[in-house]
């Protein structure tokens, strides 16, 4: 099977992104942001030399699904995923942007990461093993790695500019954002996790843990921002074969991790590229996660709409874009231009 080229870098006609994350590129438009998810993939804290075609679409469309589904819990930043509603400068790049980008309300992000954990893994497992606690929360003794916790817990972390985020106690988090606001985001985090993990489990995916971000509007309103319950912001495990007592395979990245272990990469630059079968199989897993969670096909007909007025929403019988035919990914870079040349990417340390 031959795959479309991955989108490794994005640009609009006259501009490069104002900011590049490991995976997402951000363009600023005054009080709005255009967040574009590339097909870059990271592992062991590095962006790899190969991308995964359509991964950015999967991430964007999974987030859009959750933004819609959780709006009754908390308002969010999504304005539109439909390029025809983007600022003019971006509309010209509609073919590149469609399906992988979101126009959002710009907020002032709260300076903590709001993590919910339902299972014992990653830095949570490490901390528990050392202290019997995570973020100051004492847990029952004798839990095993990957065990389900008696109940989901809120485990805030700092947002490190470089290096790993650091888990902090609720008390420390309250010192940073104030105790009233902390109460609020703690409650929201646990409700969002409860909603998301229950749905995912009913579709065969365990959400072991996940990270939310919240932002503040000038009038003080708190919005859910960034990405939501995606494979990049969460630890997804297949329910089939779940076996606590050790690490679980990753739903999405396991072929990549297995490959990197097989070549005994020392996890230092230069970063490896992936063989085409690892790319293809990994792409399948991302698309499968999308299908399972949303019960839709990637790029399904209706443009997903965020907080648009209903009149704008149903564009009564608008002709469906050709579905399931992966559109040509314009803006894809030739392999020789691949991104990732060893730039250390931060975190992956939940």
Q: How far is the CB of 45 from ligand ADP (least distance, A)?
A: 11
Of 22, 98, 117, 283, the residue at the interface with ligand ADP (CB under 6 A) is 22
Helix (H) or strand (E) holding 202: helix 179-202
Reduced to 3 states, what is the DSSP secondary structure of residue 19? strand
Of 7, 8, 12, 23, the residue at the interface with ligand ADP (CB under 6 A) is 23
Q: How far is the CB of 33 from ligand ADP (least distance, A)?
A: 6
Judge contact between 69 and 200, C-beta under 8 A: no
CB atoms within 10 A of CB 179: 12
Only one of the segments 20-28, 114-122, 236-244, 333-341 lies at the binding site for ligand ADP (rule: CB under 6 A); that segment is 20-28
Tokens encoding 23: 């995976």
55 lines the binding site for ligand ADP (CB under 6 A): no
Reduced to 3 states, what is the DSSP secondary structure of residue 12? strand
Only one of the segments 103-111, 204-212, 298-306, 307-315 lies at the binding site for ligand ADP (rule: CB under 6 A); that segment is 103-111
106 lines the binding site for ligand ADP (CB under 6 A): yes
Comparing CA positions, the residue from 23, 82, 76 lying closest to residue 233 is 23
Which residue number, 149 or 350, has a Cβ lying nearer to ligand ADP? 350
CB atoms within 10 A of CB 194: 15
Tokens encoding 126: 């490490």
Q: What is the pairing mode between strands 19-20 and 137-138?
A: unpaired
Contact string (CB under 6 A) for ligand ADP, positions 209-248, x = contact: ----x-x---------xx----------------------
Q: How far is the CB of 63 from ligand ADP (least distance, A)?
A: 10
d(CA 162, CA 275): 30
| Residues that bind ligand ADP in the complex, under the rule CB under 6 A | 21-24, 26, 33, 77, 104-107, 109, 213, 215, 225-226
């Amino acid at each position: 099977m031959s795959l479309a080229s991955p989108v490794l870098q994005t640009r609009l006609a006259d501009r490069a992104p104002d900011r590049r994350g490991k995976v997402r590129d951000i363009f600023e438009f005054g009080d709005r942001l255009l967040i574009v998810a590339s097909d870059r993939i990271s592992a062991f804290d590095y962006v790899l030399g190969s991308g995964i075609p359509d991964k950015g679409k999967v991430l964007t469309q999974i987030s859009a699904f959750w933004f819609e589904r959780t709006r009754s819990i908390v308002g969010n930043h999504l304005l539109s995923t439909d390029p025809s509603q983007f600022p003019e400068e971006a509309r010209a790049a509609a073919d590149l942007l469609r399906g992988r980008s979101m126009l959002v309300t710009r907020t002032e992000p709260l300076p903590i990461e709001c993590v919910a954990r339902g299972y014992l893994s990653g830095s949570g497992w490490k901390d528990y093993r050392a202290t019997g606690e995570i973020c100051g929360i004492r847990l029952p003794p004798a839990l095993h790695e990957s065990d389900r916790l008696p109940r989901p817990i809120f485990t805030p972390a700092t947002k490190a500019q470089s290096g790993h985020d650091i888990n902090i106690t609720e008390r420390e988090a309250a010192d940073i954002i104030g105790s009233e606001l902390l109460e609020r985001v703690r409650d929201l985090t646990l409700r969002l996790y409860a909603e998301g993990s229950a749905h995912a489990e009913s579709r065969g995916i365990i959400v072991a843990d996940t990270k939310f971000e919240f932002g503040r509007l000038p009038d003080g309103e708190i919005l859910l921002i960034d990405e939501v319950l995606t494979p990049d912001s969460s630890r997804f495990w297949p329910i089939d074969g779940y076996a606590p007592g050790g690490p679980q395979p990753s739903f999405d990245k396991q072929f990549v991790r297995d490959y990197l272990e097989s070549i005994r990469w020392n996890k230092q630059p230069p970063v490896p590229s992936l063989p085409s079968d690892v790319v293809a199989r990994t792409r399948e897993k991302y698309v499968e996660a999308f299908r399972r969670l949303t019960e839709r096909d990637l790029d399904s007909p209706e443009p997903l709409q965020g907080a648009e007025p209903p009149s704008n929403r149903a564009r009564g019988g608008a002709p469906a874009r050709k579905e399931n035919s992966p559109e040509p990914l314009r803006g894809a870079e030739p392999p020789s231009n691949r991104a990732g040349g060893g730039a250390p990417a931060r975190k992956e340390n939940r």
